[in-house]
Structure 1
């Protein structure tokens, strides 16, 4: 598929999203739009898999045309169900396919076809059947290995919500129209060389994030930052047994890591927000990740970790900045925090996330995490933890300063910390100041390809770069009392040009001379008005 076709697909999907825009808030139309795209994907993927099995069967040329009322056809459907549920993890009958309901729900009138208008004539009421189909997808997994991955996956798609329309008929009309237009788009699932739909889905998530304000940070990491994190943890690696994100949001960061290597065996993640957790599971499946190859859990990572005894080759994260956590006393004996002797403060969980991730990092793994700048210099328990990580563990490999205003919902400058338990350069830490290297856009700053490349190349070569990067010996960090504030190590001071005082005096005299007639005129006006003139 050409780049033009990819762009066209993204634009078509975004145009369909416009049907829901204005009906509800950004969260609402995001969930409905992505949910319907996911349902269409499940249908097309299942049809393709069934037709591959039926290939060569003259009596049963295509799955979507099997008649469930025909005894012989029903037997074939039953046989396919066992095989397909085992391979894909779910099942849909021909009457439950997206295309079947979309075609039942609406059609373009002859007048609309001729005028290339978007008028849709509603043929049937499909909301009840659609709600039942979505439940049936989940039911088809019950008692199987994939049950947890599909459990309540469509719970956000409330088709009876008043925000979809004032009455059932209005809601039916809107949903039928959206399904009709979606049904006309070819997702090109047969093109196995390109993750076309996955790219389009990521594009939509990014577009929704742009309009979600502060809430965007809950489910989306800007693609440029995701790329940096992914490249950092995959350096010199082409295969990963496991990758983990303890605050996985929509799962985009995990999937970004997969783009940097040839193979990832298993994806692990945890997400506290239920809606975002559902989005992450959809994102995994939609990108072709088998239910056997991902393990996402929904709960509070710090309070209720779900992957307690596992170690991971690569860990990436963009945890909520300076979030609150309980910091209860029982955590002092928790294996994740006990070695440090102190807990992160309850008002700022940044280092609690770091400690959690380092506990799960394998001996040969790499961790890259985005954090607010405060973690570099704040004192008290955070200063103690920071010192322990460097002095006792020697796991900190690099500190990378990012520009301000590159995240949705916050303008604060951030940094990336890179950790390794077995470091190739155990005598120093690399500091990179990329804070001034960005392109200013309309609403926020953006990291372009050249900015990302410079960060990654500098991390790989690990050499001093004037005004940009410095390799700091551990002794220097100790002298600074383990304060990691980047300007302490990377000198970005730009000396100003010397001021010629004679020139300045001359310019002042010229201005004074030019002002004399104006001052005289002001005095005359003041005299006429009978008020005191300014000195």
Structure 2
């Protein structure tokens, strides 16, 4: 039932999202529709929480609309509890359903213009947290929802009409938040983010990692563990990777992340809250991870990342004294920050932890500073645990082939590195290559068992990597060469002779026919 409800919810939400599709591009209407869903979630969560408190007094939160002293005292008591437990507060007349009703009211004498009220409510959610523990987590969460944008309509009335219509459609959907054991809404929210990513082209890579890749990373960093003290993503985007890791274990103590893009940072915080992650359990910061790291002295049990491929960074000489980079002797080149992210993550990796990072294949064999860093990681530290080659064209906005590099500070198998070539194991769907469940399972089980399979995986001793001058290009170690079938020249010569004889016999028959018909022979 929950699976059916999830699919139904996903379709309903996507249909509603499409009411804005013709007005703006995918990454713009994404911010509105996801913001409204989040507002509805907060309102319903608030109402359920308040009704539970008020149950013994036989009161309903939405009915507390009076301005008498007793009603105001009750609301204030509920607010105090909500700020501590939920981290935010909404007044009864600020609940989603009440606003949706006003926006779609056709009662004479009552205005259905709600834009100003709605903008104030979204601001009030943030203001309710001022001076509390949750202030940073709710700060400017709705800043990308400009209800006065002409993209929604040329006039205030036109904007009010489209917004009211969206709220009305959303109001009819039951999120079933009372069923706390289900994460149906969270899954549906992830589905929507994925749908927007597939429609956003190149920009999608800024905020979303395909679920198939997320699953591989999550399963790798949780190998052999049922609980995690902490998980960290230094380029967390919408937070989907962090949440995927949580699905692989029974409990995650705390979630940490950093994201440079402000809009995506807002989306990550919404995503966390929508998935039921308490505001005290996540700490997501907005800044450039390499230039301005926000979790400097912390280490994490699991680290996952899909950083922007070969991004530029300053490579400022001041970083040679930064603890993240100083021991290597060289910085990653300014034109390619891939290994800078690796170094940053290793600095934050706990001794009992595992990190998995998606990178372009070039990191395996490029020379210069990158070769120097590769050598240090393998020869001096022996942190590299595995390399997994992925198919090309599985990420949004780029067709380049990629790999996953897995690092551990305390390897169970210190004598070798596991190479997996999964580049030819995929299904092509239209213009995108897709990893199916069987492809994911094969990669993960091969990693967990460190099993060797001809033309797919091989354990390579460190001295062989050294012999190859620390070039990690996968074909050097996993031979996928397919020998062509041997050709029997004599048999082919005999076939040609037989064909020649057959042609000659046919020519004689045709010549005989031509003579009988008294026509010119075409030979």
TM-score bracket, normalised by the shorter chain, equals over 0.9
Shift of 1:500: 3.1
Distance 2:502 2:120 in 1: 86
Cross-structure match for 1:344: 332
Distance 2:9 2:106 in 1: 21
Q: Is the 8 A contact 2:208 2:238 kept in 1?
A: yes
Q: Give SS of 2:451's match.
A: coil
Measure how far apart 1:403 and its partner are.
Answer: 0.5
Question: How far apart, CA to CA, are the structure 1 residues paired with 2:338 and 2:449?
Answer: 29
Task: Write the deviation string for residues 59-89 of structure 1: whole angstroms up to 9, x where unpaired.
Answer: x2x1111114233222100111011011111
Contact between 1:270 and 1:306, CA under 8 Å: does it hold in 2?
Answer: yes
Residue 219 of structure 1 deviates from its aligned partner by 0.2
Q: Among residues 465, 486, 490, which one is paired with 1:498 in the alignment?
A: 486
Instruction: Give the equivalent residue in structure 1 for 2:78.
Output: 80
- Give yes or no for contact 2:5–2:184 (8 Å, CA) kept in 1: no
The reply on whether 1:456 has 2:444 as its aligned counterpart is: yes
Counterparts of 1:97-496 in structure 2 under 5 Å?
97-106=95-104, 124-496=112-484
Which residue number in structure 1 is paired with residue 35 of structure 2? 35
Q: CA deviation at 1:238?
A: 1.0
Tell me the distance in 2 between the aligned counterparts of 1:140 and 1:274.
21
> Counterpart of 2:265 in 1: which secondary structure?
helix
Structure-2 separation of matches of 1:372 and 1:213: 18
SS of structure 1 residue aligned to 2:209: coil
Partners of 1:250 and 1:434 in 2: CA distance: 27
Structure-2 separation of matches of 1:242 and 1:2: 29
Q: Which residue of 1 aligns with 2:94?
A: 96
Secondary structure class of the residue paired with 1:164: coil
Partner of 2:516: none
- Where structure 1 has 5 or more consecutive residues not aligned to the other structure, the ranges are 110-121, 518-535
1:504 Cα deviation (Å)?
4.7
Q: CA deviation at 1:252?
A: 0.4
How far does the alpha carbon of each residue in 1:74-111 deviate from its partner, in whole angstroms, 9 at most, with x for none? 210011101101111100001111111001111599xx
Q: Give the secondary-structure state (helix, strand or coil) at the position aligned to 2:439.
A: helix
Q: Deviations over 1:354-386 (max 9, x none)?
A: 000000000100000000000100010000000
Partner Cα distance (2:493, 2:201) in 1: 51
Task: Describe the superposition over 1:201-234 as per-residue Cα deviations: whole angstroms up to 9, x where unpaired.
Answer: 0000000000000000000000000000000000
| Cα deviation code 1:298-330 (max 9, x no counterpart) | 010000000000000000000000000000110
C-alpha separation in 1, matches of 2:281 and 2:502 = 80
Contact 1:401 1:433 survives alignment (8 Å): yes
TM-score, normalisation: structure 2: 0.94
How far apart, in 2, do the equivalents of 1:66 and 1:187 lie?
23
- Alpha-carbon distance between aligned partners in 1 of 2:72 and 2:387, rounded to the nearest angstrom: 61
- Structure 1 residue 239: Cα displacement: 1.0
CA distance in structure 2 between the partners assigned to 1:497 and 1:409 by the alignment: 38
CA distance in 2, matches of 1:423, 1:455: 19
- Rounded Cα–Cα distance in structure 1 between residues aligned with 2:331 and 2:67: 64
C-alpha deviation, 1:501, in angstroms: 3.0
**Separation of aligned partners in 2, 1:372 and 1:512:** 57
Q: Which residue of 1 aligns with 2:12?
A: 12
Q: So what's the TM-score if we normalise by structure 1?
A: 0.91
User: Across the two proteins, how many residue pairs are aligned to each other?
Assistant: 503
How far residue 443 of structure 1 moved from its aligned partner, in angstroms, is 2.3
* Contact 2:233/2:303, CA 8 A, preserved across alignment: yes
Instruction: Quote the offset at 1:272 in angstroms.
Output: 0.4
CA contact (8 A) 1:107 1:180 kept: no
Residue 515 of structure 2: aligned partner: none
Runs of 4+ that moved beyond 4 A:
502-517
Q: Deviations over 1:165-217 (max 9, x none)?
A: 01000000000000000000000101111100000000000000000000000
SS in 2 for 1:55: helix
SS in 1 for 2:151: helix
Answer yes or no: is the 8 Å Cα contact 1:363–1:421 preserved in 2. Answer: yes
> RMSD over aligned Cα, in angstroms?
1.8
Determine if contact 2:2/2:184 at 8 Å carries over to the other structure: no
Q: 1:417 Cα deviation (Å)?
A: 0.4
